[in-house]
Structure 1
Amino acid sequence: MSENALLHVNNLSVVKADRTLLNNIRGTFAPGEFVAIIGENGCGKSSLLSELSGADANASSKVHFHGRPLQHYRMSELANFRAVMQQTPTTPFGFLSAEVLELARNQITESPAQRQSCIELVAKWFEISHLLTRNIQSLSGGECQRVFLAKTVLQILPSAQIRQQELNGRVLLLDEPTSALDLRHQKIVMQTLVRLCQAGLCILCVSHDINLITPYASRMMILGEKRCLADASPAEALNQDVLRRCFHTQLQLLKNEHQTVFVTH
């Protein structure tokens, strides 16, 4: 295991409803990495993210966080350093958006002023300041998604002062965080996630939108055939053979003037 490994996975199999989705998944994830997880519907992307979160006690011995198996952590301890955003986050109660964000800080000892500063900062990042007094159940899908993304970030944010390496040792697991967003807010979210990585945060992000995430991700894991078909920079991972095996159709690759790879039919 690498000395600077934050999250380490060794020989992990992902099984759901007695069906094996993924076999022998291996990987090491370091501070500052923005890892895109790509694959066709039903290949196990969300299930893999769940396993990496520690939700499955049987898998947690295969996943090490800071050199310790996930099963050795209390959930309350893990919550300070690892946050998860599910694909369709919901709340059964009519909380105000600000109250939803406050819930993310429950495990953190801080003054009310410090808590408010953190909430205001993250709300500004994701352009949800004007939504804080709104009932969460009255928001559009995209607005709600940005509130829950902000909540996920707030859970592991140590303070409102984001300095270099401030987020070292923390990991964010995101499942389709931009699926309901318009083009402008997709860009805002991606740019914000990159800035958080620059402060040391490790992000693993499931996405169906290859062309959106490719310019921002530092690394791409492409899943298919019940395994990881490629794990490298997007430019190295994206090739026609891997994409054909992943999506079972012929796709074309294009490059822009910055040599960023894009996928088209």
Structure 2
Amino acid sequence: MLKINSVGLTISAVPLLNNITIDCPRGSVTALMGPNGAGKTSLLKVISGEHKASQGEVEINRQSREDWKPAEIAQFMAVLPQSSTLEFSFTSEEVVALGRTPHATGTVRDAEIITAALAKVDASYLAQRSFVQLSGGEKQRVQLARVLAQIWDHCECEGDASTDGILLLDEPSAAFDLAHQLMLIEIVQQISARGVTVVMVMHDLNLAAKCADQMVFMNCGHCTAVGTVSELLTPELIKKVFSVDAEVITHPVQGTPMVVV
């Protein structure tokens, strides 16, 4: 579980976040939505520990984030940034292996997880390819495999672990084609069903609506609204947050709200 309690963030005298409070229960999927510069990535960085909150607190698995040692938190929390720079000519398999660094599960078990993670993101054929030679979408799938490998036991087992898995995704679908966007949503649904708490920054309202338990609309560092997909996907709120006129209809198959602009 994850709780964000009255979090604020100021860097170089510039306020980036102001009094953000969000409750993300175990196994929930939270989509952070809003225009560019709204503070979505900054919030993700506070949760991950890359930035320290200027005020308030992030609570992870019933304990203040500040009380967790980095080596401990790396065993159950993984972060997929918007982009990952890697100049070394690692194979895709070696990149995914980096996700196993916090664990002491042994080379045999790690190799099994690496293979399974690549298969899960439709990237088995990339295992021996040089990462730097991959397309943008292929690189992102390999990086997704890396973070899944990092919290694999939480993703694949409904166990009685003392800590719940947490996955932070920053615009994970940006480089994906349509098929792999849907693959991503399926993965998020699968791992959340096993108790992993997912927080993801998204720009595609309809894609987020397919898997989010709650949406958070942000603007100018403030939390504009928090609620379910049905509560937040309204023409009025979309106009307020995104300055776009939109119609919200019912998806003909899923029965969920669908935004038409």
Q: TM-score range by the shorter chain?
A: over 0.9
- What's the C-alpha RMSD, in Å, of the aligned pairs? 1.8
Aligned residue number for residue 56 of structure 1: 51
Residues 17-32 of structure 1 aligned to structure 2 (within 5 Å): 17-32=12-27
Aligned residue number for residue 157 of structure 2: 163
* Distance in 2 separating the partners of 1:195 and 1:227: 31
* Distance in 1 separating the partners of 2:55 and 2:136: 32
* Distance in 1 separating the partners of 2:226 and 2:87: 38
Q: Deviation string for 1:173-216 (max 9, x for gaps)?
A: 00011100100111111101110111110000101111112111
Runs of 4+ in 1 over 6 A off after TM superposition: none
Q: TM-score, normalised by structure 2?
A: 0.93
Residues 1-265 of structure 1 aligned to structure 2 (within 5 Å): 6-59=1-54, 62-158=57-153, 162-165=156-159, 169-257=164-252, 258-265=254-261
* Distance in 1 separating the partners of 2:17 and 2:55: 15
Q: For residue 45 of structure 2, what is the amino acid of its counterpart?
A: S
Q: Deviation string for 1:218-252 (max 9, x for gaps)?
A: 11111125322221111112112211111123222
Q: Deviation string for 1:143-173 (max 9, x for gaps)?
A: 00000011011111228x9233577611000
Which segment is superposed worse, 43-52 or 67-76?
67-76
* Distance in 2 separating the partners of 1:43 and 1:66: 27
* Distance in 2 separating the partners of 1:53 and 1:252: 35
* Distance in 1 separating the partners of 2:55 and 2:106: 34
Q: TM-score, normalised by structure 1?
A: 0.92
Q: 1:246 to 1:14 in 2, by over 3 A?
A: farther
* Distance in 1 separating the partners of 2:249 and 2:159: 35
Aligned residue number for residue 3 of structure 1: none
Count of residue pairs brought into register by the alignment: 259
* Distance in 2 separating the partners of 1:17 and 1:43: 17
SS at match of 2:156: coil
- Contact (CA 8 Å) 2:96, 2:149: kept in 1 or not? yes
Q: Deviation string for 1:101-148 (max 9, x for gaps)?
A: 111111211122211111111111101100010000000000000000
Cα drift, residue 17 of structure 1 = 4.2
Which segment is superposed worse, 38-47 or 164-173?
164-173
Q: Runs of 5+ in structure 1 lacking a partner?
A: 1-5
Q: For residue 66 of structure 2, what is the amino acid of its counterpart?
A: Q
Q: Runs of 5+ in structure 2 lacking a partner?
A: none
* Distance in 1 separating the partners of 2:42 and 2:237: 21
Which segment is superposed worse, 161-170 or 239-248?
161-170
Cα drift, residue 8 of structure 1 = 1.1
